Structure 1
Amino acid sequence: MSNPTIGVLGLGIIGGIWARHYNDAGVLAGAWNRTPQPDFPQWQADPAAVARAADFIQIVVADPPAVQSVIDSILPALGPGKTVIQSSTIDPDSSDTFRTAVLATGARYLEAPFTGSKPAAQGKQSVYYLGGDEALCAEVDPLLSLGSAHRIRIGDNRQACTLKLAMNLRVSVQMQVLAESFIMCRRSGITDDTYFNALAPNITHSGLDKLKEPQVRNRDFAPLFSIKHMLKDMRLAAGMSTTGDLATLQTIKAQLTAAADAGYGDEDFAALFKLIDK
């Protein structure tokens, strides 16, 4: 396909950034969001209009019900020559449902969840986990590369969804560990500078520690990725048939639930810190 175009359905923190990258590259054919943004480049009034205008349709919304609503809206506009790129974080069973519906129209379906929050998206450093046909992954690579650093083929659609949820489990647990170890030291009189200076050369120091250090130090929990969205992901992970015996998953889901119940749902998931820093 020469000069393929892409449309974005969902202009939240990440989808809006990607859509602007596509627009800057001259390949954005349409953009839509549930809350209207008529001044957005290539704005369309409904999802079906985006699907009619674009060769590739990327879905970036909150959860499986939101994806279902979008799929239902665009099905009449799909068919041969169209490809749905599903980039919302969903569970494997939901992915199977959406894939079946899209393929029945003659269109193609690629599961493409991602990792990387707002700064990564802005810097074109997002990482995609691709689940689908190898040839399709190669075909879509030039488009996805416009807003990402890496595109990793994981396997099929179910495996891509599973790996994404597994990565978010790691991230949320690491945030909880950072919060607890930091508070443990602070309560003993160790200064914040001493803690982070000691953490930096430690074998456990991670990119998440570096990203979240300013938020923890300054109690700035403006959302890069919110408590409510991480809780949604951990609920999806905990609902899988293969995860019932994963104790840490259950623990972090409980912590995120407590944070949401405390009124922190719209704050960054670093606000797990607030549960123990009273």
Structure 2
Amino acid sequence: MRIAVLGLGIIGSRAGSNLRSNPNHDVRLWSRSSRGLEGEVESLEAAVADADVVALYLKDAEALRDLVPTLASCVKGAPAILNHSTIDLETTRWLADFCASRGWAFLDAPFTGSRDAAQAGQLVYYVGGNPETIEAFSPLLLETGREVIPCGEAGTATILKLVTNLISACSVQAMAEALATATKHGIAPQALISAVGSNACGSPLAAMKLPTMAEGNFDTHFSLSNMLKDSRYALALAEGLDTPAIQAVSQRMAELCDKGLEDLDYSVLAKPYSDS
């Protein structure tokens, strides 16, 4: 396939590299800001002009809405658009309609998995769209992921991605509070980590985040600014419902972003406790 990968952040750059490892593909990478990566081209037109597939790994809905009209003027055929960007439901539906009006296949295909999973080709894709389109492109998705989860029509995958990130954000804030409370009373962080690991509240997320939070290591796997963005999309989904947990955590993340922590991992929610 001729594949254009647009958006070369933490995930897109690694997904693009994995796709390029398949010699049967012609993979072209593009980002507004040059990253100096192998396979990167200078212009959007050079990336997408004759592409069979355009894979979007953009930061947010604003970036996607800005790019897609320009994309339409650059392509010469009818590519399949695979949107892996985490965006709001309204923008997902807008993109689905945009593609349908041009006869382009479309998949709503956000992922779960952060930096290391992307590096290892172990992302998990939630996928919404036409069942035949999902079946046709699942082998390609499995070149950068380990699982494809069909969710229903376009938009369903976006909803599931946002609500699972809601759980992750609230869980990491709860871990930060538990770590701070335990250590305040002289409990060693490792004791808490062990206790959580054997408790019903233990999870892969806790196993990943609690040790680095205890170390004060906030090396970015998934940035605070991205989780804040996703929390706001989740709040829009939940409009009319009482959602105090994600409202409070979203406000907390906004405060920390305002303090200059936006590019660190969202586990930086623990940092205010170690600073106090």
Q: In 2, are the aligned partners of 1:59 and 1:87 still within 8 Å (CA)?
A: yes
Answer whether contact 2:175 2:210 (CA < 8 A) is retained.
no
The aligned counterpart of 1:49 is: 46
Question: Structure 1 CA distance, aligned partners of 2:12 and 2:225?
Answer: 17
Shift of 1:156: 1.5
Percent identity, aligned pairs only?
A: 28
1:199 correspondence with 2:196: yes
Match 2:116 to one of 116, 119, 124 = 119
Q: Which moved more, 1:246-255 or 1:6-15?
A: 246-255
Deviations 1:210-233 (A, max 9, x none): 111332121111111111110011
Report the TM-score when normalising by structure 2.
0.94
Q: 2:33 aligns with which of 35, 54, 57?
A: 35
Count of matched residue pairs: 274
Gaps of 5+ in 1: none
Is 1:160 aligned with 2:161?
A: no
C-alpha displacement of 1:50: 1.7
In 1: Cα distance, 2:32 partner to 2:240 partner: 33
Q: 1:42 to 1:254 in 2, by over 3 A?
A: same
Q: TM-score, normalised by structure 1?
A: 0.94
Distance of 1:108 and 1:241 partners within structure 2: 29
Superposed counterparts of 1:46-195, under 5 Å: 46-78=43-75, 81-195=78-192
Residues in 2 aligned to 1:243 and 1:252: alpha-carbon distance in whole angstroms: 18
Unpaired runs of at least 5, structure 2: none
After superposing the two structures, state which structure 1 stretch, 189-198 or 77-86, moved more: 77-86
Please identify, of 60-69 and 73-82, the stretch whose mean Cα deviation from structure 2 is larger. Answer: 73-82
**1:267 match:** 264
Distance of 1:43 and 1:203 partners within structure 2: 45
Give the CA deviation at 1:107: 1.2
Is 1:214 the counterpart of 2:225? The answer is no
Query: 3-state SS of the aligned residue for 2:32?
Result: coil
Q: Bigger shift: 221-230 or 98-107?
A: 98-107
The root-mean-square deviation of aligned C-alpha atoms, in Å, is: 1.5
Amino acid paired to 1:221 = F
C-alpha distance after superposition, 1:55-74 (max 9, x if no partner): 11001011111011221221
Shift of residue 241 of structure 1?
A: 5.8
Residue 113 (structure 1) shift: 0.4
